[in-house]
Structure 1
Amino acid sequence: MLFTLIFRNAFRHRLRTLLTITGLTVAILAFGLLSTVISAWYAGAEGASGARLITRNAISLIFPLPLNYREKIRQIDGVRSVSLANWFGGVYKEPKNFFPQFAVEPESYLGIYTEYRLTDEERREFLHDRKGCIVGAKLARTYGFKVGDTITLQGRIFPGNWDFVIRGIYTGRDAKTDVSQMLFHWDYLNETLKQRSPGRANAVGVYIAEIAEQGRAAEISRAIDAQFRNSNAETLTETDRAFQLGFVSRTESIVVAIRIVSYLVIFIILAVMANTMAMTVRERSAEYATLKALGFGPAFLVLLIYGESLAIAAIGGGIGIAATFPAAAAFAKTLGKFFPVFEVSNTTVALQVLWALAVGLVSAFFPARRAARVKIVDGLRSIG
């Protein structure tokens, strides 16, 4: 009987209730999408391994490092293996078709980045073809790439047309793995540069070192940088996570703004919900007085009002949470190239549930308090 009464009370003014539910649905949906955007912003750092160190030029990432640094880094105590990578920065067919491309030393790079999964045949074909490349599964879906396709990139950092043959499509070990990149042979880039721009050859963007013990990351980083101190190209070594966070920090103000907006949306719907419940209590003062006259105590009235508020919050919040997943999928399809990993996390869903519950509880507090304190005479006086 109690649940039936709560449900009927909640929908006594259907239009007002439906508008409140709609507002709550939009608020919870918006909060979920904005939280997912923030999570996607940090996805690269969260998926980074603590056993990888990135060494770059201490002045700026745009300045290269000499090729002979590789062996010197390999000799540092605690370094298990070393690879290298260059950011390529080309476009596919037209400027809008931009995606991350890296020239790498294939065997050592794939040995360090074990989260990139290839079949044995794809790995073998990629290693043996100097003009071969591999692309992530998301990238392949976006542009319709297939194994065996020849693609041409227009170089921006390294001018000219560059032809590649797709030898594999890699998948990720888990949902946080970036599967929107293209990897190709650093030797192909270097040998071509020797012919086109000899002065730019034998230069490396970053070195990636795999270490045996994560606990020694700071110690090994200092040892690597000390090795090249006072040289023509001093280095800055940091963990893969710190390296990724360095890019995020450049747009930290945007992330903060998005976070503020997400909480502002919740605050606004809280005010709307509280107003709805306040109007409900004012309109039913006579009913609550009658219930008191019949022997129902203040606790019963509080239970009715909280139940109604939580019912509305549960319906609106549930619809908002359910709508978050298709909305996120549509968002990822439209703007997915800007966010390599864009998935609604369990943490986001949990926060949506908590905020919907909080809105239901907080918005009912003052109306329930007023109903509990209403005097029978004052309430009955409002009849008519």
Structure 2
Amino acid sequence: MQTSRLIVRNALRHKLRTILTVAGLVVATLAFGLLQTVVKAWYAGADAASNTTLVTRNAISLVFALPISYAAKIRAVDGVTRVAYANWFGGIYQEPKNFFPQLAISGANYLDIYPDFVLPEDQRKAFLRDRKGALVGRKLADEYHFKIGDVIPLRGTIFPGQWEFVVRGIYDGRQSSTVTTQMFFHWDYLNESLLKTAPRRANQVGVYVVQIRSPEHAAAVSAAIDASFSNSLAETLTETEKAFQLSFVSMSDAIVVAIRLVSFVVILIIMAVMANTMAMSARERLSEYATLKALGFGPGFLARLIVGESLLLSLFGAALGAALLFPVTAAFAARMGTIFPVFEVAPGTLLMQFGAALAVGLVAAAAPALRAARVNIAEGLRSVA
């Protein structure tokens, strides 16, 4: 108990230095946590992917479509329980900066594959009845103030023209990690328009979403699907939904790596600052350590004083940084709109913050603690002014 009181009093001896050190720790741990949350948000789609869902696309590239006739063959593959399909639409709402994903989907079977999209039954039925009906996620609806019955005009880029969709439902996420920044509408509506305006682009889909009976059969089912279309004009590549999502993340791997590096560089910088603070404190108290040694206190006691003070400062700074992370993250997510579909602090991020603070405290105290433990009583007492 007396040791703890002495550690606290030592930490508060130079109040300005303590305040500045803790402030630096708060900024560092806050920045570290925010950057790690950004990285986590980058992988949100892959982390939320189902292990019983496969995605089949054109083997050459995602930009090339697949015939609608493939659906029946895929459904016939052993181990497949449900098949749906979707097209990326890429429309512009009002102005180019208003970006959000829009997908033309096959309807009920697509929604059945994704039970995490929670939708009231009456809204689901209204959507399925209306050819121009659309579903929007809760976060997307909040961002653009969409309401049931609103008409959403989109200017097509991949599919040119002016398109209008009627909001028939607003879906929520079953979990906080569920993406609710997307808009869904009927593939049939898109296809009917293409049959009139661009027949050569009709009856084609971007990807097939395949639900399988068991995740253990993913590799075998994927191979069987791709074998069904080998040597055809549109060969396929089938992979797990997680691998499909990670293929998009890999396009920006350099950015993710850079963010990770910056987050750890921040910790190294504050480690150097903290080490300097503890070295200054230990140097100023050299005579006190010599006196304590002369009174019979061992090297272990002196080391505990220094390590305890360093850990107190680092963990206190980390606690404040972790507490500030939640409002800062919420404000950042609000500013980003729908750029990050899921942006929340993960428990693992908090553990990393405190783990980093613990490492900073121990490393910063190592050299001063060793010096204090080895201080010569006579030399230490000579330093008394």
Q: TM-score, length-normalised on structure 1?
A: 0.98
- Give the drift of 1:111: 0.8
1:144 alignment partner AA: H
- Give the drift of 1:300: 1.6
Q: Please list the CA deviations of residues 222-274 of structure 1 after superposition, one character each: whole Å capped at 9, or x if unmatched.
A: 11111111111111111101100111111111111111111111111111101
2:334 alignment partner AA: K
What corresponds to 1:81 in structure 2?
82
What corresponds to 1:362 in structure 2?
363
Separation in structure 2 between the aligned mates of residue 341 and residue 51 of structure 1, nearest angstrom: 22
Q: Name the SS for the 1:103 alignment partner.
A: strand
- Give the drift of 1:336: 3.7
Separation in structure 1 between the aligned mates of residue 337 and residue 355 of structure 2, nearest angstrom: 28
Alignment of 1:162-311 (within 5 A): 162-311=163-312
Separation in structure 2 between the aligned mates of residue 72 and residue 153 of structure 1, nearest angstrom: 34
- Give the drift of 1:147: 1.1
1:378 correspondence with 2:379: yes
Q: Name the SS for the 1:191 alignment partner.
A: helix
Q: Name the SS for the 2:239 alignment partner.
A: strand
Q: Please list the CA deviations of residues 183-242 of structure 1 after superposition, one character each: whole Å capped at 9, or x if unmatched.
A: 000001111111222221111111111111111111111111111111111111111011
Separation in structure 1 between the aligned mates of residue 68 and residue 369 of structure 2, nearest angstrom: 72
Alignment of 1:112-131 (within 5 A): 112-131=113-132
Q: Name the SS for the 2:170 alignment partner.
A: strand
Separation in structure 1 between the aligned mates of residue 232 and residue 355 of structure 2, nearest angstrom: 55
1:44 alignment partner AA: G
Does the 8 Å contact 1:336/1:342 carry over to 2? Answer: no
1:45 correspondence with 2:46: yes
Separation in structure 2 between the aligned mates of residue 267 and residue 41 of structure 1, nearest angstrom: 24
1:157 correspondence with 2:190: no
Q: TM-score, length-normalised on structure 2?
A: 0.98
1:6 alignment partner AA: I
What corresponds to 1:55 in structure 2?
56
Separation in structure 1 between the aligned mates of residue 223 and residue 333 of structure 2, nearest angstrom: 39
Separation in structure 1 between the aligned mates of residue 299 and residue 232 of structure 2, nearest angstrom: 79
Does the 8 Å contact 1:86/1:206 carry over to 2? Answer: yes
> What is the RMSD computed on CA atoms of the aligned residues?
0.9
Separation in structure 1 between the aligned mates of residue 110 and residue 228 of structure 2, nearest angstrom: 23
Q: Please list the CA deviations of residues 266-314 of structure 1 after superposition, one character each: whole Å capped at 9, or x if unmatched.
A: 1111111011100100011111111122222222211111111111112
What corresponds to 1:107 in structure 2?
108
Unaligned 5+ runs, structure 1: none
Does the 8 Å contact 2:143/2:337 carry over to 1? Answer: no
Separation in structure 2 between the aligned mates of residue 235 and residue 178 of structure 1, nearest angstrom: 27
Q: Please list the CA deviations of residues 338-358 of structure 1 after superposition, one character each: whole Å capped at 9, or x if unmatched.
A: 211111100000111111111
What corresponds to 1:7 in structure 2?
8
Q: Name the SS for the 1:337 alignment partner.
A: coil
Q: Name the SS for the 2:165 alignment partner.
A: strand
Does the 8 Å contact 1:292/1:298 carry over to 2? Answer: yes
- Give the drift of 1:168: 0.8
Separation in structure 2 between the aligned mates of residue 162 and residue 111 of structure 1, nearest angstrom: 26
What corresponds to 2:146 in structure 1?
145
What corresponds to 2:315 in structure 1?
314
Unaligned 5+ runs, structure 2: none
- Give the drift of 1:2: 2.4
1:323 alignment partner AA: L
What corresponds to 2:26 in structure 1?
25
